[in-house]
Amino acid sequence: MEILKAKLTERIKRTPSVESFRFAPEKRIEFIPGQFLQVMFDPDNPQNKELNKYLSFSCAAGKPYIEVTKRISESEFSRHLTALRAKDVVTLKAPLGACVFKEEYKKIAFLIGGIGITPVISIIEYIAEKKLDTGASLFYSNRNEEDIAFKKELDGWSAQNKNIKVFYAVTDYQPRDKNCVFGRITQELLAQSLKDIKERIIFIFGPPKMVEAMEKLCLDMGCRNEDLKTESFLGY
């Protein structure tokens, strides 16, 4: 882990409320899929929790840029982030985190809510680009179809690699897309779609209550606690 400077190169609107920010770091950041970094708008005061926040890498490693993605809010951190323009420089602390993908994992699953998708993108893009034979099943829950970030990319990777399977869940209304199911991620859905769940490493990312519910669901289905990798994503 080190502290370094990075220059904004691109902003990408993912949904009405979610945006990606791509940066060119002053030196290459070697990170493992699933790791995160800290964006520091007040590097002179590392304890400033309002302006120094943690965001997951939302791209595979090895690219000429690094990408982070955030649901934009009214927070001071969001205001600083959205005020960035091309070539603006920020301070980063990276890489961080041990909730990561390893190539030795041959079967994995993701139970994801909302902006918890960001580290998953890093992992799935890595699997797709490396053409790994890892069996990866993603269950991705959002309130509505418009909130599904990275849907185009996920659909593309799953079309290219038969080992990548994506299931979308929409909770607020009956979805128009036939590839989306109405309702939450349930034990019934997992039992129907993921019969070998007890053989998989399971990543659970999302709001704290969702993470807690999914962890309990997996344990109720007979998954081993040591096979569950969880991180809670707070809104800021």
Find the mean pLDDT for residues 126-150: 96
CATH of 2-96, one of 3.30.1490.20, 3.20.20.10, 2.60.40.10, 2.40.30.10: 2.40.30.10
pLDDT exceeds cutoff 90 at 50 = yes
- Confidence band (pLDDT; 50, 70, 90) for 236? low
pLDDT at position 178 is: 82
Residue labelled with tokens 């593309």: 156
For 194-203, how does the pLDDT look when each residue is reduced to its tens digit (9 = 90+)? 999 999 999 9
Give me the residue spans of the domains in the chain. 2-96, 107-232
Prediction pTM value:
0.95
pLDDT exceeds cutoff 80 at 234 = no
pLDDT at position 192 is: 94
Fold of 107-232: Rossmann fold (3.40.50)
When the pLDDT of each residue in the chain is averaged and rounded to a whole number, the result is 95
pLDDT exceeds cutoff 70 at 37 = yes
The percent of residues above 90 in pLDDT, for the chain, comes to: 94
Find the mean pLDDT for residues 133-153: 96
